[in-house]
Structure 1
Amino acid sequence: MADDPCKSDWNPRAEEVLGDQIRAYDTMRAQCPVAWSDYQHWTLFRHGDVMRVLEDHQTFSSAASSHLSVPNGMDPPEHTPYRQVIEPYFSQQAMSEFEPTCRSIARNLVSSLHDGQPFDVVERFSRAFALQIQCAFMGWPDSLHEPLREWVLKNHQATLASDRQAMAEVAHEFDGYIRDLLETRRQAGANAPRDVTTSLMEETVNGRTMTDEELTSLLRNWTVGELGTISSSVSILLSYLAKHPDLKQSLANDTVALPDAIDEILRMDAPLMSNRRVTTRDVDIGGRRIPTGEKITILWASANRDEKVFGDPDAFCPQKNRDHNLLYGAGVHVCPGAPLARMELRVLMEELLSAVDTLEPAPGDQPERAVFPTGGFSYLPMVIAKR
């Protein structure tokens, strides 16, 4: 018999949870590793349970939304041809070609930071980097930076409030940006810029070009993922290195160690908090009976801190933890954009560490953590001294 979903095991929106989400999730992982709530439905806190879901897409479907989601909300075999179209855009060659542009953006942003003057990492640095890098990668004009910045904030507020009407309006606004970009390229014809957006318009799936609805969904997923998680990642990395100056200096002296160090810091403090699945049949998991058609929250922010896999979740052990780190997921839906994200974060940190001698919290000002469904910080005041 299924568990009674009317009785909540916890409240993800409770003040004590939002006050320190990481510790709250650590506690839930130990006390109630498969938990029901009205807000997140079934939440999985343990690494093993999450891996089971990721490896069994037939029982745990990604089609958890009523809206088209390309390819995130699809299962094989429908998912496969879209995935095959996407992967070449994140190849080693594509990353090598984009890296100089990425480095130029990173270097200019680091140069814009003033010596000894407090600044908000989120507004001045991490969000600006995410916006500029996404537009550069997609071939979008700089004039979209400010509209997209405002759109990200509205999207977060609507999601946080679970306001379906506001979420629909925000999605419609983004669709308008994409329609304009597509129409501009169509009118240009052979003179359209040879960028990622134009190339995607020419790709074929199952013998046909993608519809505007499919293109818009794909580009929305890429943009939301890039802008949100990259910005969160940068704020988490700077906060951690400010608290661990010896590690910061070590990485400045040995940038070869940066990729593993970045992944490990983001394992401990998730930039992407969760993803969703829906059950296709009744299933027992973690001692709970979950019926068909129930939504499941995969809580990366907990699974990547599971003591049974990582030991002390706050111990910095990049080599030891590398193979079990779910920062970019696993299984058929492992993040295709992981090579791009890793390259962007590595390059930004290389530029920062080469230019900055000290990185410290701004005196007399307290940071503010972002709250679910966003990771990282909403406000992170810091001060730097350049070399």
Structure 2
Amino acid sequence: MDKNSPPDWDPRSEAVLNDQMATYDDMRHRCPVAHSRYGYTSLFRHEDVLHVLKDHETFSSAVSRFPSVPNGMDPPEHTVYRRLIEPYFSHEQTDAFAPVCRDVAVRLVQALPGDGATELMTKFAQIFALQIQCAWLGWPTELHEPLRLWTLKNHAATLARDDVALSAVALEFDGYIKDLLAVRRTAGSAAPDDITTSLLRNQSLGRPLTDDEIVSILRNWTVGELGTISASIGILVHYLAANPELQQQLREQPSLLPVAIDEILRIHAPLIMNRRVTTKQVTLGERTLATGSRLALVWASANRDEAVFGDPDEFRLDRDPKLNLLYGAGIHICPGALLARLELRIVMEELLGRTSRIFLAPDKEPVKAFFPASGFSALPLHIQKPATQAW
């Protein structure tokens, strides 16, 4: 981008933040390859985003100032670490976690008011995301509140583009992990048999992982999980509250939930964008980008592209799942997709199965989350439960 030329758009402007999805729909038609004032070129079309995802040689993932294992790596380094982490997301591991996930979901649904107003994000969605992440990693319940506060600080620092705050937040998270590793080292053979201990003992690289490598892996898993799972729950429940016939259909036919969840999250993405950097000069759309150009792949737009999905707001259960970029594509496709789908299916099964009606609060408006987050920061609802339930 010529430094003297005006930007095509401002992703942080008030107009964009007021309705991100409508803005992305507009940009997809008006300027599908758009320069922003922040130095990024945003891609809005499904075709362009998919092209970048599948060409990891031209579009590098090494974009972060902090070590990012393996998300921020390219082959051959990425290949080695990806092979290391994939067993943690296997069908066997995921199935073994399902009962724990369901216990958390049941307990939190039971705690919701039986016939009254509640604020879903802080009273349910964020708590669920925190508790299942800690349970999956084997972290103590004492970390729930510090991690909740850490998530808020991380989001605020990201939104403010405050490098000093971001560094402080990263160091704070590193401290939590290193304390957990120290406890496990001290315990030796008596250390908890969990994923964190397993990473500490992992020798698949022919050596133990360094603390920095383990911290990076766990930071990537945790930041992604806490943000996207809670955002996804808010988006799903809001959509069903606004569409009561579908809500009732899924209550009566829970087998449809996996497909319905992916489709709702296609319509309203829980993750706005991801980043890449060009390794050589390349042309996208009608724009030629120099080597080292920074790209923002706007999932929230690509998954609403009319050229692929027709009416982006039309809810359909018969779409080709390979077209949905909810979990990415190419070598960096989300390794935790199986786990995330299980967690969302279980929480929605329990929420719908243990309630009779969920509807939007008539006197309070939902508060949309601000970029780079998606979904809602506050979602006031009314929840009704059957008069008698066999818990």
The whole-number CA distance in structure 2 between the counterparts of 1:152 and 1:135 is 14
Matched letter for residue 13 of structure 1:
R
Tell me which residue corresponds to 1:236: 235
Name the SS for the 1:43 alignment partner: strand
Cα distance change of structure 1 residues 40 and 386 upon mapping to structure 2, 3 Å threshold: farther
The one-letter amino acid of 2:299's match is: W
> What amino acid maps onto 2:28 in structure 1?
R
How far 1:203 sits from its partner (Å)?
1.4
**Corresponding letter in the other structure for 1:29:** R
Report how far residue 66 of structure 1 moved. 2.5
* Alignment pair present for 1:68 and 2:71: no
Is 1:51 matched with 2:62? no
The AA in structure 2 aligned to 1:50 is: V
- Distance, in Å, in 2 between the alignment partners of 1:344 and 1:230 is 8
What TM-score does the superposition give when structure 1 sets the normalisation length? 0.98
Structure 1 partner of 2:158: 159
Q: What's the C-alpha RMSD, in Å, of the aligned pairs?
A: 1.1
Give 3-state SS (helix, strand or coil) of 1:296's partner: strand
Say which SS state the counterpart of residue 204 (structure 1) adopts. Answer: coil
Matched, 1:180 2:170: no
Provide the secondary structure at the position in 1 that maps to 2:277. strand
Q: Which amino acid aligns with 1:288?
A: R
State the SS of the aligned residue for 1:144. helix
In 2: Cα distance, 1:59 partner to 1:117 partner: 53
Q: Distance in 2 between matches of 1:258 and 1:90?
A: 21
Secondary structure of the residue aligned to 2:193 is coil
CA deviation string 1:290-320 (max 9, x = no partner):
1001110000000000000000000011322
The one-letter amino acid of 1:376's match is: G
Question: Which 5+ residue runs of structure 1 have no aligned equivalent?
Answer: none
Aligned counterparts of 2:129 and 2:201: Cα–Cα separation in 1? 26
What's the offset of the Cα at 1:117? 2.1
1:191 match? 190
Secondary structure of residue in 1 paired with 2:116: coil
Residues 25-104 of structure 1 mapped to structure 2, 5 A cutoff = 25-39=24-38, 41-104=40-103
Shift of 1:201: 1.1
Amino acid at match of 2:32: P
Q: Alpha carbons of 1:3 and 1:307: their partners in 2 closer, same or farther (altered >3 Å)? A: farther
* CA offsets 1:345-382 (integer angstroms, 9 cap, x no match): 00001101111111011221111000111011001000
- Deviation of 1:7 after TM superposition, in Å, equals 2.4
Question: What letter matches 2:332 in structure 1?
Answer: H
Decide whether the 8 Å contact of 1:276 with 1:296 is kept in 2. yes
CA apart distance, 1:184: 0.3
User: What does 1:292-331 correspond to in 2, within 5 Å?
Assistant: 292-331=291-330
1:254 corresponding residue in structure 2: 253
For 1:362, give the aligned amino acid.
A
Change (3 A) 1:117 1:78: same
Deviations 1:238-287 (A, max 9, x none): 00000111111111111111001000000110101111000000000011
User: Residues 5 and 301 of structure 1: is their aligned pair in 2 closer, same or farther, counting only changes over 3 Å?
Assistant: farther
Partners of 2:39 and 2:275 lie apart in 1 by 9
Q: In the alignment, is the contact (CA less than 8 A) between 2:234 and 2:375 conserved in 1?
A: yes
Superposed CA deviations along residues 54-92 of structure 1, whole A, max 9, x for unmatched, are 000000000012221000000111001111111111111
SS in 2 for 1:289: strand
Q: In structure 1, what is the equivalent of residue 116 of structure 2?
A: 117
* 1:3 to partner: Cα distance: 5.7
Amino-acid identity (%): 56
- Size of the aligned set, in residue pairs, is 386
The CA deviation at 1:6 is 4.3
Cα separation, 2, equivalents of 1:157 and 1:258: 33
Give the CA deviation at 1:95.
1.1
How far apart, in 2, do the equivalents of 1:86 and 1:347 lie? 24
In the alignment, residue 245 of structure 2 is paired with which amino acid? D
CA contact (8 A) 1:270 1:301 kept: yes
CA separation in 2, counterparts of 1:157 and 1:320?
Answer: 36
Kept in 1: contact 2:9–2:37 (CA 8 A): no
Deviates more, 1:148-157 or 1:204-213: 204-213
Distance 1:291 1:352 in 2: 49
CA distance in 1, matches of 2:39, 2:374: 16
Report if aligned partners of 1:174, 1:220 keep a CA contact under 8 Å in 2.
yes
- CA offset digits 1:77-111 (Å, max 9, x no partner): 10011111111111111111100000000000000
Structure 1: how far apart are the matches of 2:94 and 2:72? 26
Distance (whole Å) between structure 2 residues aligned to residue 35 and residue 383 of structure 1: 41
Aligned: 1:170 with 2:139: no
Q: Distance in 1 between matches of 2:282 and 2:2?
A: 11
Secondary structure, aligned partner of 1:180 = helix
- Higher mean Cα deviation, 136-145 or 90-99? 90-99
- Given that 1:115 and 1:383 are in contact with CA atoms closer than 8 Å, whether structure 2 keeps it comes out as no
Cα deviations across residues 320-350 of structure 1 (Å, max 9, x unaligned)?
A: 2422000000000000000000000000011
Quick check: 1:82–1:205 contact (8 Å CA) kept in 2? no
Equivalent pair of 2:115/2:382 in contact (CA under 8 Å): yes
